[in-house]
Chain A
Amino acid sequence: MSLLRYCIRRIFFALPILFGITLVTFILFHLVGGDPAFLIAGKNASLERVASIRSELGLDRSLLQQYISFVKQTVTFDWGRSWSSQERVMDMFWRGLGPSLSLALPAFLISFLISLGIALLSSYYRGQCFDRGVLIACLALMSFSYLVYIILFQYLFAYKMGLFPITGWDPSWSGRWQYLILPWMISVTVSIGPGVLIYRTAILDESLQGYVRTARAKGLKDTAVYSQHILKNALVPILTIVIMQMPLMITGSLLLESFFGIPGVGGLLIQAIQNADFPVIKAMTVIGSIFYMLFNLLSDLVLTAVDPRIELK
């Protein structure tokens, strides 16, 4: 099957899923999402004002009509304006994407490289002191919550040692880095534990295969065995995990962005839920789902490129 046909088929199959997501989002919002008209009318609301707001927001239309307009918005990628801040929803998303990616992408790359390096060394020395030490360290790192790292690092490195600004943001590319180093450090610390364990397992799985024994029997050096055989084959599960983590970079990190004053997209969905801001909830859910499906497709394509045994069907 040609690559193009495969991609078109996958996108075609994704449409019913997207339809299902819009339907579930719509139902959930109307069941447990609060009443935006009450929220906008505020504490001094009156029935007349609530009715007028409901009419302005289109909430007085039938549920079917409201859902159809949601589907239209999804098709056109135009979710209008936020009910809470009156900004264009897509402007909010694009404005936050840069800061979110500035935070997530470097942290992700650093974490990936360090985790992979440690996992390689750990699997090379499997069962030995180094390997055990790594396992204990990883489990120890994983046993604290994200929030503990944020509070600890912010207190220790920013406040006590004064190495970094405690919080803040500079929109210029040259100025923003000073505010990002500490969040990167936290993000890397948090993700190294699970990263090393997963990559180590993938590498160990391969290193116990028969072809590795054959390669060693041929007299290949360990470096060659690892770089040409084990790592290449272990890449399949590793890449799958890595690519599937990428959509999370786009949806941002709520805690890090909130504690460090980074104006990313991390808090958009949470704030929208708190304000019953349905246009933003709709947009963020749909965009998140689309990215998830796209990266899923990308993962399949990359895997076929990496491993010739995998076929597109």
Chain B
Amino acid sequence: MKVLGILVVIMVSLVSCTKKSQVNDDTIYGVIDANIKGLDPIQAADNYMIKAVSQIYEGLYHYHYLKRPLQLEPQLAESLPTISPDGLTYTIKIKKGVYFQDHEAFPARKGRELTAHDFIYSWKRLADASHKATGWWVFDGRIQGLNEWRQELSQGKVNYDSPISGLTAKDKYTLEIKLTKAFPLFEIMLALPPTFAVAREVVEKTGNEFLNHPVGTGPFLLKEWIRNSKIVLEANPNYRTELYPNEGEDVDRELSRLEDAGKKLPLAKKVVIQIMPERQPMWLSFARGELDHAIIPKDNYSQVFNGKTLREDIRKKGIQILNQPRPDVTFIGINMEHPILGKNKYLRQAMAMAINNQISIDTFYNGRGIPAQSPLPPGFRGYKKSYKKPYDFDLQRAQSYMIKAGFPDGKGLPTFRFELTNASSWSRQMGEFLQQQWAQIGIKIKLIPNNWPQFDKKLKSRQAEIFFMAWTADYPDSENFLQLFFSKNISPGPNNFNFVNRDYDQMYEKMSLLSPSPERLALIRKMVQLVNEEVPAIFLLHRVFRLPYQGWLRNYKEYPGINDFYQYLRIDLERKSKLKPKL
């Protein structure tokens, strides 16, 4: 009984401590729903790592926080690059007076000024094969001499001090980049995390532990990182003067997101990012006000929404919803190397017409999705709201196409293997749904459960016959989706359909050399039409996330691509003191 009594006393005292710590706390409590592998920009491949890394490190460019579609603007660069008429040489001026965060690797432990040489070092590091950098694709084959340096480095013929013809620091603040061939999207590449600037001294001082000791020029510095638990960031005292944007969309004005215009960034002194792979504790923490933003788990959706509108009790608590159409597409992929599937266009078209997409959106996404008519999500060049894909749901037509394909009611067809991405019930249910849909026209599939490494191996070694996947934009240009069908990108590249079409390739190559123009737009539309006619993939939807955030969190406008968003957020303490007790 004594033990029980002591336990009760401890519990009660802890409760009071917990509650007190939340009052008048202007720390931002964010969340990432997966474990972070490390804080090294060159390895930042998944959204979680990218989000964590982007608070501490910076690149030459980033995106305007409020404007949509995304608009590139200078971050560490002084301005957008000067590009030579042939499109091969980029000259970039770097901001003066940018300092790295303090670290023992620097003289007197004071962060030194960033120079053009830091970018050259950082990009060599990205190219260094011994680092197995996931982000190497960003520069692979694009910069003169960089691939050669990479190869010679692995043979021990050169070192980090060896020059590269395509990368020159003209002076302390001027960087000159020479490309192997014109690539109008190159400046977009310079906004991607693998290109962020790191300090050579810190890399050399920390060695293999560099990923645990991030030292960048960004608005926050790493105060504490408990792996699989939380990341604590504090405002970087060396941070230069950067101001909150004074322009945005109409909706930003309506939601008071422009009230902080002109204020020095970061607005918050401290950010705690909780690592929560499980959705239930994330949702409960949010519902109790311990997180400032979150994700609604599928099973808790009805606790927040009545159909598509926010429930009254949730509204009264001041909880807001950020509607966020994702720059992505989910699709069913078909391996074009399959002897039957790949050679029979009518069969693939029939498969596309047998799927009632709306049912899948309502059942598996709580109705949160825009039916996909092509790989291109809304807002991307080439997307047209009025455009409809030629082979949409039409069961009768699908049956007639099965006859055209030579397999009436599926007679003569083998059972195809449908690879499930993982062993979750969601994935299995999705597979069963497709099984039912295709059974209506006589196509049989066998669901093959996989874990992610098994699935990935089958996909990249071209063994997967039919599979379900999603692609989220790496950068805001249609090219990122259209490259999925370029023959030079077949597996293990991103063209997991192994789709090879000479006409498509010619258009893609031409399009990728063009800057935004009517000619480029026309090519994009032709390519979309060709893909929709050939059906190497059946496009399902563009997901719409509804992200809940507390009424006291100001300026929240998270969006893929805008990864450094914590610097724009702040806690409205007055609102927090009114709203928190209601939770």
Which A residues form the contact surface with B (CB < 8 A)?
Answer: 32-36, 38-47, 49-50, 52-53, 56-57, 81, 84-88, 95, 151, 154-155, 158-159, 162-169, 171, 177-178, 181, 257-263, 267, 271, 273-276
Query: When the two chains form their complex, are residues A273 and B451 in contact, meaning their CB atoms are under 8 A apart?
Result: yes
- Chain B contacts with A in 153-175, Cβ cutoff 8 A: 154
Q: Would you call B208 an interface residue if the criterion is a C-beta within 8 Å of the partner chain's C-beta atoms?
A: yes
Closest chain-A Cβ to B304's Cβ sits at a distance in Å of 15
- 10 pairs of A and B residues whose beta carbons are closest in the complex: A34-B453, A44-B137, A276-B453, A167-B281, A45-B492, A263-B228, A169-B229, A178-B14, A159-B284, A85-B37
Give 18 A-B pairs besides A34-B453, A261-B274 with Cβ atoms closer than 8 angstroms. A35-B457, A35-B461, A40-B132, A42-B137, A43-B45, A43-B471, A50-B460, A52-B154, A84-B37, A86-B38, A87-B211, A87-B212, A88-B208, A151-B280, A164-B15, A167-B276, A273-B453, A274-B451
Query: When the two chains form their complex, are residues A42 and B287 in contact, meaning their CB atoms are under 8 A apart?
Result: no
- Chain B contacts with A in 454-480, Cβ cutoff 8 A: 454, 456-457, 460-461, 471, 474
Closest chain-A Cβ to B44's Cβ sits at a distance in Å of 10
Give the residue among A36, A57, A155, A166 with the most B Cβ atoms within 10 A: A166
Closest chain-A Cβ to B579's Cβ sits at a distance in Å of 17
Least CB separation from B284: chain A residue: A159
Give the residue among B452, B454, B461, B492 with the most A Cβ atoms within 10 A: B492
Q: Would you call B187 an interface residue if the criterion is a C-beta within 8 Å of the partner chain's C-beta atoms?
A: no
A258 to B11, CA, bound (A): 22
Which B residues form the contact surface with A (CB < 8 A)?
Answer: 7, 10-11, 14-15, 17-19, 35, 37-38, 40, 43, 45, 129-130, 132, 134-137, 140, 154, 208, 211-212, 226-230, 274-278, 280-281, 284-285, 287-288, 290, 451-454, 456-457, 460-461, 471, 474, 492-494
Query: When the two chains form their complex, are residues A178 and B18 in contact, meaning their CB atoms are under 8 A apart?
Result: yes
Query: When the two chains form their complex, are residues A274 and B208 in contact, meaning their CB atoms are under 8 A apart?
Result: no
A22 to B45, CA, bound (A): 31
Closest chain-B Cβ to A146's Cβ sits at a distance in Å of 13
Query: When the two chains form their complex, are residues A56 and B275 in contact, meaning their CB atoms are under 8 A apart?
Result: no
Closest chain-B Cβ to A176's Cβ sits at a distance in Å of 11
B228 surroundings in chain A (CB, below 8 A): 257, 261, 263, 267
B17 surroundings in chain A (CB, below 8 A): 178
A65 to B100, CA, bound (A): 44
A267 to B35, CA, bound (A): 10
B454, B492, B494: which contacts A34 (Cβ < 8 A)?
A: B454
Known: A35-B460, A261-B274. A181 touches B284 (CB 8 A): no
Query: When the two chains form their complex, are residues B453 and A41 in contact, meaning their CB atoms are under 8 A apart?
Result: no
Query: When the two chains form their complex, are residues A49 and B284 in contact, meaning their CB atoms are under 8 A apart?
Result: no
A158 surroundings in chain B (CB, below 8 A): 284
A178 to B35, CA, bound (A): 23
B461 surroundings in chain A (CB, below 8 A): 35, 38
Query: When the two chains form their complex, are residues A39 and B453 in contact, meaning their CB atoms are under 8 A apart?
Result: yes
A165 to B278, CA, bound (A): 15
27 contacts between A and B (CB under 8 A): A34-B451, A34-B452, A36-B453, A38-B456, A38-B492, A39-B453, A42-B134, A44-B494, A46-B137, A56-B130, A85-B211, A86-B37, A151-B280, A154-B280, A155-B284, A159-B288, A162-B288, A168-B229, A168-B274, A178-B17, A178-B18, A181-B10, A181-B14, A257-B228, A259-B278, A262-B229, A275-B37
A158 to B283, CA, bound (A): 12
B230, B456, B471: which contacts A261 (Cβ < 8 A)?
A: B230
A42, A163, A177: which contacts B45 (Cβ < 8 A)?
A: A42
Give the residue among A50, A85, A181, A276 with the most B Cβ atoms within 10 A: A85
A171 to B226, CA, bound (A): 8
Least CB separation from A268: chain B residue: B228
B212 surroundings in chain A (CB, below 8 A): 87
A260 surroundings in chain B (CB, below 8 A): 281
A159 to B289, CA, bound (A): 10
Least CB separation from B474: chain A residue: A44
Query: When the two chains form their complex, are residues B288 and A38 in contact, meaning their CB atoms are under 8 A apart?
Result: no
Least CB separation from B450: chain A residue: A34
A44, A50, A81, A95: which contacts B208 (Cβ < 8 A)?
A: A81
Known: A166-B290, A168-B229. A45 touches B493 (CB 8 A): yes
Closest chain-B Cβ to A161's Cβ sits at a distance in Å of 9
Closest chain-B Cβ to A265's Cβ sits at a distance in Å of 10
B230 surroundings in chain A (CB, below 8 A): 168-169, 261
Query: When the two chains form their complex, are residues B492 and A259 in contact, meaning their CB atoms are under 8 A apart?
Result: no
Closest chain-B Cβ to A145's Cβ sits at a distance in Å of 14
Least CB separation from A167: chain B residue: B281
Least CB separation from B43: chain A residue: A86
Known: A34-B451, A159-B284, A275-B453. A261 touches B276 (CB 8 A): yes
A85 surroundings in chain B (CB, below 8 A): 37-38, 211
Least CB separation from A270: chain B residue: B451
A34 to B419, CA, bound (A): 14
Query: When the two chains form their complex, are residues B457 and A263 in contact, meaning their CB atoms are under 8 A apart?
Result: no
Closest chain-A Cβ to B407's Cβ sits at a distance in Å of 33
Query: When the two chains form their complex, are residues B229 and A263 in contact, meaning their CB atoms are under 8 A apart?
Result: yes
A276 surroundings in chain B (CB, below 8 A): 453
A154 to B276, CA, bound (A): 14
Known: A158-B284, A162-B15, A171-B226. A261 touches B275 (CB 8 A): yes
Known: A46-B137, A177-B10. A274 touches B274 (CB 8 A): no
A263 to B461, CA, bound (A): 35
Closest chain-B Cβ to A115's Cβ sits at a distance in Å of 15
Query: When the two chains form their complex, are residues A32 and B454 in contact, meaning their CB atoms are under 8 A apart?
Result: yes
A57 to B132, CA, bound (A): 9
A304 to B304, CA, bound (A): 61
Query: When the two chains form their complex, are residues A56 and B281 in contact, meaning their CB atoms are under 8 A apart?
Result: no
A259 to B280, CA, bound (A): 8
A36 to B492, CA, bound (A): 13
A37 to B137, CA, bound (A): 14
Query: When the two chains form their complex, are residues B11 and A181 in contact, meaning their CB atoms are under 8 A apart?
Result: yes
Query: When the two chains form their complex, are residues B227 and A95 in contact, meaning their CB atoms are under 8 A apart?
Result: yes
A53, A163, A169, A258: which contacts B132 (Cβ < 8 A)?
A: A53
Query: When the two chains form their complex, are residues B11 and A163 in contact, meaning their CB atoms are under 8 A apart?
Result: yes
A45 surroundings in chain B (CB, below 8 A): 137, 460, 492-494
A49 to B17, CA, bound (A): 52
Query: When the two chains form their complex, are residues A259 and B7 in contact, meaning their CB atoms are under 8 A apart?
Result: no
A39, A49, A168, A171: which contacts B137 (Cβ < 8 A)?
A: A49
A52, A87, A154, A274: which contacts B453 (Cβ < 8 A)?
A: A274
B451 surroundings in chain A (CB, below 8 A): 34, 273-274
A271 to B37, CA, bound (A): 10
A34, A47, A84, A166: which contacts B285 (Cβ < 8 A)?
A: A166
Query: When the two chains form their complex, are residues A159 and B287 in contact, meaning their CB atoms are under 8 A apart?
Result: yes
Closest chain-A Cβ to B369's Cβ sits at a distance in Å of 21
Query: When the two chains form their complex, are residues A56 and B129 in contact, meaning their CB atoms are under 8 A apart?
Result: yes
Closest chain-B Cβ to A132's Cβ sits at a distance in Å of 25
Give the residue among B129, B154, B452, B460 with the most A Cβ atoms within 10 A: B460
Least CB separation from B280: chain A residue: A151
Query: When the two chains form their complex, are residues B284 and A33 in contact, meaning their CB atoms are under 8 A apart?
Result: no
Closest chain-B Cβ to A38's Cβ sits at a distance in Å of 4
Closest chain-B Cβ to A59's Cβ sits at a distance in Å of 11
B135 surroundings in chain A (CB, below 8 A): 42
Known: A45-B493, A162-B288, A164-B11. A56 touches B140 (CB 8 A): no
Query: When the two chains form their complex, are residues B134 and A40 in contact, meaning their CB atoms are under 8 A apart?
Result: yes
A34 surroundings in chain B (CB, below 8 A): 451-454, 456-457
